[in-house]
Amino acid sequence: MARVVVLGAGISGHTAAAFIKKKLGKKHEVVVVSPAKNYQWIPSNIWVGIGKMKPEQVYFPLSRVYNRWKIDFRQAFAKSIFPEGNKNSDKAFVEIEYTDKDRQGESDKIEYDYLVNATGPKLNFGATEGLGPDKHTVSVCSYDHAAHAWLKLEEAFQRMEKGEKQKFLIGTGHSMATCQGAAFEYILNVAYEINKRKLTDKAELTWISNEYELGDFGMGGAFITRGGYITPTKVFSESLFAEYGIKWIKRAGVYKIEEGKAHYETLDGEYKTADFDFAMLIPAFSGVGINAFDREGKDISDKLFAPNGLMKVDADYSGKPFEEWNIDDWPSTYQNPVYENIFAPGIAFAPPHSISKPMKSKNGTAIFPSPPRTGMPSGVMGKVVALNIVDRIKHNTKEFKHRASMGKMGAACIVSAGFSFTKGNAATMTVFPVVPDWQKYPEWGRDLKYTVGEAGLAGHWIKLLLHYMFLHKAKGYPFWWLLPE
């Protein structure tokens, strides 16, 4: 009997665990380790953050599903990986520390035959002084953060209704943050709610981002087919902002937050300040801080992890110049190059380089987005890792037939721009591939037949449908495996 341990129960980890257990059945064991007791559908946190959904509409208890699937669930976080075992045993294992109330703080170890590191990122609020829900800004990165954001947003609305003017600052809170899409979606929803309440004369909305141009989204922007015309995402994004009266600050690296003030550096090397009454800024991401040790107890974290704490996989980490990279630099199996029974899909893997062009200010500060790896790509990676592990366990295969390179993978994104059943709006965009392939598509970097964008009420309905469809899938309801990632 083989044991597969999955660290993390987000989109990538939950998907991997689900398919591994379904394919292997009772003959093999699947263990999921997650510090959170609930699964959350993160894309809908935006709606929690504007008061249109309750937190319980976007999460459910993991134990309920894993008990039904006969998956061993441990509410805990991983502290250390021993891929060679230790002096007492040759069996690889991971050290964990429980977070559930019954075993809080208790340590344990779990042996494994295969390990899937799908922990996702650490929300590194500490990388920016004064950033975070416990300091001066709010967040929508988790359902509890989003619920807190709605309380603060509602207070701002109430002040506006009393005649007070409010300044809203929304975007990225670090010079190398990613997830611009989430902040983009949030500011559009906030703008929609302000318009709906007829409070536009009391509001000043400003977007702040480390993007060189609007619509970069950490993937170097894109050219999309829209209404029969080829349009850059820069124009697509600027037109949406103009429609909602949103100002923007780009090429900005936020480095310090004080009460009502965001200090940032520009690519030109200037230091500036943006005032706010309400700020939602996405933090930097990093690895969650797992260490690795060899059989003798020597720290070998650098064999498994990049300096940012994300796990090394089958990618090119040579550090060659940005101009020389190509899609073959990107991983396709998410297998660690040193320990072949360890994998890292989703945000947990270390990208070989940025997709957006690296930029530094005149002061030497890196100001550009990190690559996005959330949502659909994470789910696809999780499934591919699962299928390859299953093939190796059942058939002892050496070569992997399932692959999911971001240089050969498409992605769909629906950005909500107002929650309403009759007047809602959403920008729908697909890109193929996620990482542009300038050799195959020398003019645009992507295939314009599959890189398209539109905005309208239909997009809102599709996003709402996907909310319920993906929760149906995550809960393991009938025929869940037939639904796309």
Is residue 68 packed enough to be buried (19+ CB in 10 Å), middle (13-18) or exposed (0-12)?
A: exposed
Angstrom distance (rounded) from CA 13 to CA 77 = 14
Q: Going along 289-420, which residue ranges are E strands?
A: 291-292, 342-343, 411-416
DSSP-derived pairing of the beta strands 278-282 and 166-172: parallel
Angstrom distance (rounded) from CA 479 to CA 456 = 30
The answer on pLDDT for 310 being more than 80 is yes
Supply the pLDDT for residue 152: 98
Angstrom distance (rounded) from CA 344 to CA 331 = 10
Q: What architecture does CATH give domain 3-123+288-395?
A: 3-Layer(bba) Sandwich (3.50)
What is the DSSP annotation of 241-276?
HHHHT-EEE-SEEEEEEETTEEEEEETTS-EEEEE-
First-last CA distance in the chain? 28
The answer on pLDDT for 216 being more than 80 is yes
Percent of the chain past pLDDT 90, that is, above it, reads: 85
Condensed to tens digits (0 to 9), the pLDDT of residues 367-402 reads 999 998 888 899 999 999 999 999 999 999 889 999
Tokens of 253: 């690296």
Supply the pLDDT for residue 455: 79
Tokens of 368: 């550009």
The answer on pLDDT for 467 being more than 80 is yes
Residue pair 405/316 in contact by the 8 Å Cβ criterion:
no
Tell me which DSSP letter residue 350 carries. P
> Rounded mean pLDDT of the chain?
94
Tell me which DSSP letter residue 88 carries. T
Supply the pLDDT for residue 44: 95
Supply the pLDDT for residue 375: 81
The answer on pLDDT for 335 being more than 80 is yes
Angstrom distance (rounded) from CA 116 to CA 336 = 10
Residue pair 122/349 in contact by the 8 Å Cβ criterion:
no
Residue pair 283/127 in contact by the 8 Å Cβ criterion:
yes
Angstrom distance (rounded) from CA 235 to CA 455 = 13
Tokens of 63: 């134990």
Condensed to tens digits (0 to 9), the pLDDT of residues 228-284 reads 778 888 998 998 899 999 999 999 999 999 999 999 999 999 999 999 999 999 999
More confident residue, 431 or 21: 21
Supply the pLDDT for residue 197: 96
The answer on pLDDT for 290 being more than 80 is yes
Tell me if the bond preceding 433 is cis, omega within 30° of 0.
Answer: yes
Average pLDDT over residues 311-319: 96
Supply the pLDDT for residue 229: 78
More confident residue, 413 or 275: 275
Supply the pLDDT for residue 423: 80
Supply the pLDDT for residue 420: 79
Supply the pLDDT for residue 175: 98
Condensed to tens digits (0 to 9), the pLDDT of residues 357-369 reads 999 999 999 999 9
Condensed to tens digits (0 to 9), the pLDDT of residues 64-82 reads 999 999 999 999 999 999 9
Per the document, the length of the chain is 485
Looking at the DSSP bridge assignments, the partners of residue 412 are 430
Condensed to tens digits (0 to 9), the pLDDT of residues 144-191 reads 999 999 999 999 999 999 999 999 999 999 999 998 999 999 999 999
Phi, psi (degrees; rounded to nearest 5) at 157:
-60, -45
Residue ranges covered by each domain of the chain: 3-123+288-395
Supply the pLDDT for residue 451: 87
Give the pLDDT band of residue 33 (cuts 50, 70, 90).
very high
Angstrom distance (rounded) from CA 368 to CA 216 = 10
Q: Which helix (H) or strand (E) holds 357?
A: none
Is residue 462 packed enough to be buried (19+ CB in 10 Å), middle (13-18) or exposed (0-12)?
A: middle
Supply the pLDDT for residue 125: 97
Q: Which residues contact 214 (CB under 8 A, 6 or more apart)?
A: 207, 233, 234, 237, 238, 241, 248, 250
Tokens of 70: 């006969």
What is the DSSP annotation of 311-337?
BP-SS--S---GGG--GGGS-SS-B-S
The answer on pLDDT for 296 being more than 80 is yes
Supply the pLDDT for residue 274: 98
Supply the pLDDT for residue 222: 85
Q: Going along 72-198, which residue ranges are E strands?
A: 72-82, 93-98, 107-111, 114-117, 122-124, 166-172
Angstrom distance (rounded) from CA 13 to CA 21 = 12
Supply the pLDDT for residue 267: 97
Supply the pLDDT for residue 74: 98
Supply the pLDDT for residue 373: 85
Angstrom distance (rounded) from CA 368 to CA 211 = 6
Supply the pLDDT for residue 418: 82
Condensed to tens digits (0 to 9), the pLDDT of residues 118-138 reads 999 999 999 999 999 999 999
Residue 440's SS3 state is coil
Closest by Cα among 309, 313, 338, 345 to 92: 338
